[in-house]
Every structure is written in structure tokens, then in C-alpha cells.
């Protein structure tokens, strides 16, 4: 795991060299040049992480495209960061040719903890850059929206609340999807879910589905 500067809790270590350019800063600096490439030579673990971070920058830019302020962008990316990364080695995962599958549950947990930490740090620094000079800098960053680095797009897991109700001999299963930005009609989904929870004996399970 590469060190990077952050105030967030997590498994990543802090760099000791004051002049050290961490992987988050490197990804942000190299994004604009690399996003045009359909191919990228992966030479080691740092390059693998760099690929993931560049793809995540693209994902974040798409999510905040319609945001008019840094505060709004941070709120939107809070939801994006709350979604889980797919574990490398999972069937059909687009990054399986780049990333190695974890060998055991400990490695799997360490991977997710590290990626959760670095994604939040990356999104914070990205928002600072996108809105640094107001509308001008935002428009400049958004010019890269239609480019998919290595023709790949990162996929995230959205939490779905699976509610199982027992009503005598009848058993109904309701799956309520947590909508993308928790706005507009999605709030009514949560209201409906709360009503269902208050009147039914239920068993809740959290499962991940591709969003």
C-alpha cells in the first residue's frame, strides 16, 4: 500500500519526506494527459493503483458535472464514496485484467479499507481543483468527461436493503434500492421504506448490487 497525505483514518501510512509527491497528487496531475490513452503499460503496483485512481477521477467528474459549487460537489461525492469498490477477481469486473484478486479475507478487507480511504482523499482534492477558479476551472475539467481511460469505466456497488416480511404463510421479499443521489423521487423511496419497516416484522440484510 502506497503512503499518501491525509487526515482520514485508515490503513494508509503518511509519507515521511516533506517533498514526497503522493499517488493521489500524481493521479490528479497525470489525469488530463493519460485519459486520452487507450493503452497504458502497467509495470508494477503503483501503476495499477494509478489506473484505478484515474478511472475514479473520471467517475467523480461525471457525478459532479451538474454541481454549481464545491459544497454541492462534496455532498454528491459523499454518496459516490459511500458505494463500495468491487473486489478484484469478481466475475465480470472490468478491472480484473489490471488488479489481482485478494488471497484471503484479510487481504480483501485491507483492500477495501485502503480504497475507501484513498477515494475520499482523492475526491476532496479533486473538488478543490475543479472549483479553484470558479466556473472557468470547472468547464476546463469537464472537457475530459467523454474520455474513458483505457476504454474502461469503474463500477461501484450500491447498497440495497433487502427486506423479508413474514405474514402467516405468505412471505414477500421487497428490495428497495438506495437511489443514486438521494434527491427527488428517491426521498419518497426512503419514506415508503420507513412505513413498511414500522408495520412489518422484518429481517434486514445488506447486499450489494451493481449500480
E-assigned strands of 133-179?
156-167, 170-177
Ramachandran assignment for 128, one of left (phi > 0), alpha (psi -120 to 50 degrees), beta (any other): alpha
pLDDT digits (tens, 9 = 90+) for 137-170: 888 888 777 766 655 666 665 543 333 334 443 3
Residue 193: its pLDDT value, please?
56
Q: Could you give the domains of the chain? A: 23-154 (1.10.1760.10), 157-210 (no CATH)
Q: How far apart are the C-alpha atoms of 54 and 31, rounded to whole Å?
A: 6
| Phi, psi values for residue 177, rounded to 5° | -85, 130
H-only helix segments in the chain:
23-34, 45-63, 70-82, 105-130, 135-142, 186-199
User: Does residue 77 register a pLDDT over 90?
Assistant: yes
Which pTM was predicted? 0.71
Q: If you search the block for the grid coordinates 473520471, which residue do you land on?
A: 58
Stretch 187-209: mean pLDDT: 47
pLDDT digits (tens, 9 = 90+) for 16-62: 888 888 999 999 998 887 776 666 677 888 888 988 898 899 899 99
Residue 196: its pLDDT value, please?
52
Stretch 130-134: mean pLDDT: 86
Question: Cβ distance 112 to 85 under 8 Å?
Answer: yes
162 or 196: which carries more pLDDT confidence? 196
pLDDT digits (tens, 9 = 90+) for 84-123: 888 888 887 877 888 889 999 999 999 999 999 999 999 9
Amino acid at each position: 500500500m502506497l503512503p499518501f497525505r491525509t487526515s482520514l483514518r485508515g490503513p494508509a501510512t503518511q509519507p515521511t519526506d516533506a517533498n514526497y509527491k503522493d499517488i493521489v497528487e500524481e493521479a490528479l496531475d497525470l489525469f488530463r494527459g493519460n485519459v486520452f490513452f487507450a493503452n497504458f503499460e502497467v509495470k508494477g503496483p503503483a501503476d495499477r493503483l494509478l489506473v484505478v485512481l484515474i478511472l475514479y477521477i473520471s467517475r467523480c467528474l461525471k457525478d459532479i458535472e451538474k454541481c454549481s459549487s464545491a459544497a454541492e460537489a462534496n455532498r454528491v461525492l459523499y454518496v459516490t464514496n459511500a458505494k463500495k469498490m468491487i473486489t478484484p477477481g469478481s466475475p465480470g469486473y472490468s478491472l480484473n485484467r489490471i488488479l489481482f484478486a485478494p488471497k484471503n479475507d484479510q487481504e480483501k478487507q485491507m483492500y477495501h479499507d485502503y480504497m475507501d480511504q484513498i477515494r475520499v482523499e482523492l475526491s476532496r482534492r479533486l473538488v478543490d481543483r475543479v472549483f479553484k477558479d470558479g466556473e472557468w476551472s470547472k468547464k476546463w475539467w469537464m472537457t475530459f468527461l467523454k474520455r474513458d481511460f483505457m476504454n474502461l469505466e469503474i463500477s461501484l456497488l450500491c447498497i440495497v436493503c433487502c427486506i423479508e416480511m413474514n405474514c402467516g404463510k405468505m412471505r414477500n421479499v421487497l428490495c428497495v434500492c438506495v437511489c443514486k443521489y438521494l434527491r427527488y423521487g428517491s426521498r419518497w423511496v426512503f419514506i415508503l421504506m420507513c412505513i413498511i419497516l414500522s408495520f412489518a416484522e422484518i429481517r434486514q440484510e445488506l447486499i450489494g448490487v451493481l449500480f
